[in-house]
Copies of this chain bind each other. A is one copy, B any other.
Amino acid sequence: MAPMKYKSFAHMNCSIAQTLEIIGERWTLLILRDAFRGVNRFEEFLQTGMSRNVLTERLKRLVDQGILEKRAIDGKSSEYLLTRKGVHLQPIMLSITHWGDKYMANPKGARTIFFEKNTGKPIAPMSPHSVDGRALKPQDIGLKAGPGSSSWE
């Protein structure tokens, strides 16, 4: 019998599938969450609760994908910093956080607050917008196949 493996999502012609192939593993998003909080050292990331081998592999993958950059600090230590590509994951993080805040709320209130530095005010919940800046409701949005679609619908 031919060997069996988990199916890769990478070949699927879909942004969601391909993105999940990179950041969809069990601990990866928690590592990234930490990175957005300013965590950048191996031993710090460990505090989140995964074991060393898992962290090693995830970090390697994130560096390979250009989401984190590894920088030597003084020959013996290194740090991991979000690249531009990594920083652009921010809307995903915020969306997940806001959904969790709403549907898995801690009774005492939000656990993490994202605020605008200029004003100190919390940001608005993530929402889609039109190109000219109007907030849109879920039902205002339709979807269709684009030029990169092989074919669906």
Q: Which of B6, B112, B118, B143 is close to A115, meaning CB atoms less than 8 Å apart?
A: B143
Asked if A128 meets B126 with Cβ closer than 8 Å, knowing A113-B146, A147-B109, the reply is: yes
Closest to A101 in B: B15
Asked if A106 meets B148 with Cβ closer than 8 Å, knowing A29-B24, A90-B128, the reply is: yes
A95 touches B97 (CB 8 A): no
Residues of A78-94 contacting chain B, CB below 8 A: 85, 87-94
The interface residues of chain B lying within 8 Å CB-to-CB of A107 are 148
Closest to A22 in B: B104
Q: How far is the CA of A123 from the CA of B96 in the complex (A)?
A: 20
The interface residues of chain B lying within 8 Å CB-to-CB of A126 are 91, 95, 126, 128
Sample of 5 A–B contacts (CB below 8 Å): A17-B33, A95-B126, A112-B145, A112-B146, A115-B142
Q: Which of B16, B105, B116, B141 is close to A114, meaning CB atoms less than 8 Å apart?
A: B141
Closest to A152 in B: B37
A117 touches B100 (CB 8 A): no
Q: Which of B97, B119, B131 is close to A123, meaning CB atoms less than 8 Å apart?
A: B131
Is A149 in contact with chain B by the CB < 8 A criterion?
A: yes
B144 touches A112 (CB 8 A): yes
For the complex formed, measure the closest distance between the CB of A14 and the CB atoms of chain B, giving whole angstroms: 6
B115 touches A144 (CB 8 A): yes
Residues of A1-52 contacting chain B, CB below 8 A: 6-7, 9, 12-20, 22, 24, 26, 29-30, 33, 36-37, 49-50
